[in-house]
Amino acid sequence: MADEYLAGCKAGDLLWQPTSERIEKSGTTEFRLWVNAEYQQQLMDYNALWRWSLSDAAVFWEAIWRFYDIAPGQAYQQVLACSDMPGARWFEGAELNFAEYLLRQGDRGDIARAAIIAESESVAPISLSWCELREQVVRLASYLRNAGVLPGDRVVAYMPMSVEVVVALLASASVGAVWSSCSPDFGAKGVVERFEQIQPKIIFAVSAYRYNGKAFARSAELLTIVQSISSLTELIYLPWGDAAEPVLPEGLKECKVTLWCDCLSWSDITYETFRFEAVPFSAPLWIMYSSGTTGIPKGIVHSQGGVLVEFVKYAWLHDDVNPQSIKFFVTTTGWAMFNILLGGMMAGAAVVVYDGCPTYPNHDRLWDLCERHRVSYFGANPSYVNSLIQARYSPCVKHNLQSVKTIALTGSPSAPETFAWFYQHVHWDLHIISMSGGTDICSAFVAGSPDLTVYAGEIQCACLGVDVRVLDEKGQILPVSENGELVIAQPIPSMPLYFWADPQNERYHDSYFAEFSGLWRHGDLIRLTEHGGYVISGRSDATLNRFGVRIGTAEIYRAIESLPQIKDSLIVSLELPGARFYMPLFIVLQEGYELTDDLISETRRTLSQQCSPRHVPDKVYVVDEVPYTLTGKKMEVPIKKLLLGVAAEKALNKGAIANPLAMNYFMELAGQLQLTDGEV
């Protein structure tokens, strides 16, 4: 284990360059050469293509529509009827269907090849071919249509990562219904907060799952969910793990209960005879949710057409997947990466879905899966990689991973050492994509290109069609290496249609457009690098601003969690009256260590040297756990509000916390802190 290699890797170090052969065979090159021929351009590389994509957004997205044959035979009145943000209108007059286009990609190769590969702690592995996937989707869609599901009706799922949840999503889209999902590790309160506001007609659900070798019964939660949502007319129950039969009928009142298998056997309709619901480009496809850390989660509505064209662009031109690819991302159905994972299928790629703990029964779990299925694209949260680094685990020692060509990282900022680890412990020829975007657009604003160089800790580029700016608080463009707000200056099709139950778009406007009129402020603290890439160092609303020096929390975590004694950490800066600050650091210790004066000194010295002398914590606290959201983000802002004296019911929403007991410490501390003009 060459730890010195990791320690020696510095931000901005060159780690990988694509070969000329890889560039020539990339989807980006194929598309760029076609653009040159069709639009009389002379675009020589990715950066030229990106600049062209911004010069006329309507022409760029028209090129995507044409080259990838989005809706054969369909005409539209205008590509971009209005470019206002919010309010942009795309491809008006065109009708299409998200699921129909996705399933059509099975024709890009042998229809008998795998479309979905699923593994789980709860059930036996399964694989569906494109032919089998089509059959199951249209049969389930026919059942939904017969059950009275109409275009615009909501269909929801309380399901794990599985073949079945993919089939259910595509069946819902096939009939024009609006999809939404939560994973079964969500508590009943969190699920009801999300689903009750959108008034679904049908729910797909399980009543048990396994994680890290332990069984979790969810019958009580499922009963609460169904009884709390009066609009539900039917529960479609999927036996899962130890729960082989539905156990809830007596408590469901007017809600019908149907077994999954009965839905699929209800009709013998075929893919060739099924009628997909043609809907307007702007028809809603699914509803995703804000984290809901300080209130009821906001329902973010995306369009069928907007997500379709964005997924097509991203799959071919950023992920660089194709019909021979096998794409895998570690996620749950409650995180946007579930939806984004399916985007790979827009290029005919197979996807792998995994239900369970990534390190159960040991750290080999996911790498064994990658080797057996010859995964070409592997995606995970950087925190997973950090756990492997701390465990001194090296997958290439036991596994042949030469099939892996692309690594994708998202969910939190990736440190240079994280990049370096893959080259040392998987193999040297890897395209590493770090990306940022997520739930708001169901894609990325900044990500990767297979044609560009990989530098340690850097996101390679702004995505095609995405006009990324780095602005200061006055709206001025910042120079290279200065932290500022991530701002988008032109619309893209997958920006939300609206927020649910926000008829005047007030919450939508306040979330993205209140800071800079007519520009989308995403809320990330970002800087442009000398290589033309980007570094995100945390959320801008959690920025540590001390004496005019701004630093992102990710930079603090990278430094502090490099210490062998520290397992996890969280830091906030509390701005107090009289231009004072109080910056507490909370750490989770590795087993066998305790907080000593020497460790406190080492912590402060590390932060002073690697970050800034101004960002040395005022006090170090030991906690058992750091509170995380259900999508794996540290709850910095709610804790900051709590410690500043905001009432708990206003500062946080316990239904949005993955580990709610972890918040008890901070609630008690908030009652003890006396942030007065005297000493803290």
Domain at 33, CATH number = 3.40.50.12780
The pLDDT value recorded for residue 5 is 52
The answer to whether residues 210 and 160 belong to one domain is: yes
Contacts of 473 (CB under 8 A, 6+ apart): 485
> Is 108 buried (19+), middle (13-18) or exposed (0-12) by CB count in 10 A?
middle
pTM of model > 0.75: yes
Question: Of the residues 499, 515, 537, which one is the last residue of a structural domain?
Answer: 537
Domain boundary among 217, 242, 277: 277
Place of tokens 């950090």: 386
Question: Could you tell me where the DSSP H helices lie in 127-280?
Answer: 130-146, 163-174, 188-195, 219-228, 260-264
> Is residue 369 a part of any domain in this protein?
no
Q: Say if residue 236 is in the same domain as residue 91.
A: no
Tokens encoding 309: 């064209």
Q: What is the pLDDT of residue 73?
A: 83
**Beta-ladder partners of 485:** 471, 525
CB 177 within 8 A of CB 152: yes
Q: Please check whether residues 131 and 273 belong to one and the same domain.
A: yes
pLDDT for residue 413: 81
DSSP 186: S
The domain in which residue 667 lies consists of 543-672
Residues 413 and 305 occupy one common structural domain: yes
If 0-12 CB within 10 Å is exposed, 13-18 middle and 19+ buried, where does residue 37 land?
exposed
Q: What number of other Cβ atoms are within 10 A of residue 481's Cβ?
A: 11
Q: How far apart are CA 196 and CA 156, in angstroms?
A: 10
Report d(CA 427, CA 658) in Å as an integer.
34
| CATH code assigned at 604 | 3.30.300.30
Separation between Cα atoms, residue 378 and residue 7, nearest integer Å: 24
Strand-pairing partners, residue 620, are 585
Residues 308 and 413 in one domain: yes
Q: 271 and 292 share a domain? A: no
Q: Are residues 48 and 172 in the same domain?
A: no
Please indicate, yes or no, whether residues 639 and 520 belong to a single structural domain of this protein: no
Q: Is residue 443 part of a domain?
A: yes
Give yes or no: residues 399 and 445 share one domain: yes
Q: Note whether 44 and 160 are same-domain residues.
A: no
Cis amide bond preceding 627, omega within 30: no
Instruction: Check whether residue 523 and residue 547 sit in a common domain.
Output: no
Rounded to whole angstroms, how far apart are CA atoms 462 and 524?
14
Tell whether 282 is covered by a domain.
no
Q: DSSP labels for 132-176? A: HHHHHHHHHHHHHHHTT--TT-EEEEE--SSHHHHHHHHHHHHTT
- The Cβ of residue 634 has, within 10 Å, a number of other Cβ atoms equal to 25
- Counting the structural domains of the chain, the total is 3
What pairs with residue 588 in β-bridges?
568
Neighbours of 522 (CB within 10 A): 22
Q: Going from the first residue of the chain to its last (680 residues), give the mean pLDDT of each consecutive group of 10, the final group possibly shorter.
A: 60 96 97 98 98 97 98 91 92 97 97 98 96 98 98 98 98 98 90 95 96 92 93 95 64 81 95 98 96 79 98 98 98 94 98 96 97 97 88 96 97 87 96 94 97 97 98 93 94 97 93 93 93 88 67 82 91 76 91 93 87 83 92 86 85 84 92 61
Structure-block tokens of residue 162:
């599985």
Give the pLDDT confidence score for residue 541 in this predicted structure: 75
Task: Let me know whether 239 and 293 are in one domain.
Answer: no
Whether 211 maps to a domain, the answer reads yes
Domain membership of residue 628 (yes or no) is yes
Task: Evaluate whether residue 525 is within a structural domain.
Answer: yes
Q: What is the pLDDT of residue 247?
A: 60
What backbone phi and psi angles, to 5 degrees, belong to 663? -80, -20
For residue 567, tell me if it sits in a domain.
yes
Both tokens of 113, joined, read: 């090849």
Contacts of 613 (CB under 8 A, 6+ apart): none
Residue 348 lies in a domain: no
With tokens 């194929």, the residue in question is 30
- Apex CA 669: angle with CA 588 and CA 568, to 5°? 15
Question: What is the radius of gyration, based on Cα positions, of the chain?
Answer: 25
Angle at 375 between CA 374 and CA 380, to 5 degrees: 150
